[in-house]
Structure 1
Amino acid sequence: MILYHGSNVLVDNPILLKANRTLDFGHGFYTTTSREQARKWAVIKSRRENSDKGIISIYEVEEDILKKNNLNVRIFRGASKSWLKFVLDNRIQEGYIHEFDVVKGCVADDRVYACLNAFENQFMDFDTVIKELKTYKLNDQVSFHTVKALNHLKFLDYEEV
């Protein structure tokens, strides 16, 4: 499986860094199966950092990475109650830490944040948020949360955007 990481720097040797913001699946190294999603993040990151270019780092992992017995993997299929609860736990609960090596699921983009804000401000209930989110086309993300999981990533190449 090919995975992409969008940034303003080349990441040929991924490491786990504590993020300076809350993330959907907690602290980890985030990738996607979508080259376009990675390009979007590379452009955003390069603008934030006043860089003159964005970089898409490209990796390969075994096709069965999400089925490995030696990794604790969590897979969310679409916008579901369990996915939304997991995202909310990671984003809202201070100090929340999960036990997964790898997590795969939807990206909570700007439209999702609007729904989450509506939920947090009690304009929408949980079921209404899920119903709304199921109408969106959401990109995926595959996040790595342990060194053991990162060891499965093999750097292939990069692209400037």
Structure 2
Amino acid sequence: MILYHSSQQIVEFPEIRLQRYNKDFYFGFYCTNIESQAIRWATRFDGKGFISEYDYVPNNELNIKQFTDMSEEWLDFIVDCRLGKPHNFDIVEGPMANDTIFNYVQDFADKKISREAFWTLAKLNRPTHQISFHSARALATLTFISGREVTNEE
């Protein structure tokens, strides 16, 4: 399977970086199988960026959590991760809480909206995909293919 990583540089050697803010599936190296989504994320700040392309070969010996769609379990998992609760999965895959969805997730986590209101709002967004790698063994499933600069005109 081909995966794409968005960045401000080509990433030949993926690594897990601890950052200031927790992400959907906690700290990890994030990719997507949707090239147009990768381009949108790479160019979101100043209209240009880079995407790196990898060959991903799943390893069934890893501890993998997969969400096929936005579900109650997915929502609770994202809220926990965004609040800083770690997990023990090597790889987590599922829909992405994009900027709009993230605002709904945050409102739900802050108890500003109900669970029912979250689902009503979330249904209005287009499908997304993310897969995050949380261990060295997980990163070993990726083989760098190439990288290129992209613009928001693509």
**TM-score normalised by L of structure 1:** 0.85
Q: Say yes or no: does 1:3 pair with 2:7.
A: no
Identical-pair percentage: 35
Match status 1:60 vs 2:49: no
When structure 1 is superposed on structure 2, of 23-32 and 127-136 the one drifting more is 127-136
Question: 2:71 corresponds to which letter in structure 1?
Answer: S
1-structure distance, mates of 2:15, 2:111: 38
Is 1:113 the counterpart of 2:108 in the alignment? no
Query: Of the candidates 65, 68, 79, which is equivalent to residue 88 of structure 1?
Result: 79
Q: How far is 1:42 from its partner? A: 1.2
Number of equivalent positions: 150
Larger helix percent: 1
Structure 2 unaligned segments of length 5 or more: list them: none
**Can you list the C-alpha shifts for 1:51-99, whole angstroms capped at 9, x where unaligned?**
x94110000012xx1xx4310000011110000101100111x3x2100
Partner Cα distance (2:41, 2:112) in 1:
30
Aligned to 1:22: 22
**1:152 — aligned with what?**
141
Partners of 1:84 and 1:121 in 2: CA distance: 13
TM-score (norm 2): 0.89
Query: Alpha carbon RMSD of aligned pairs, Å?
Result: 1.8
Deviation track 1:4-58 (CA, whole Å, cap 9, x = no partner) reads 001011100101111222100011100000111111121135x3xxxx9411000
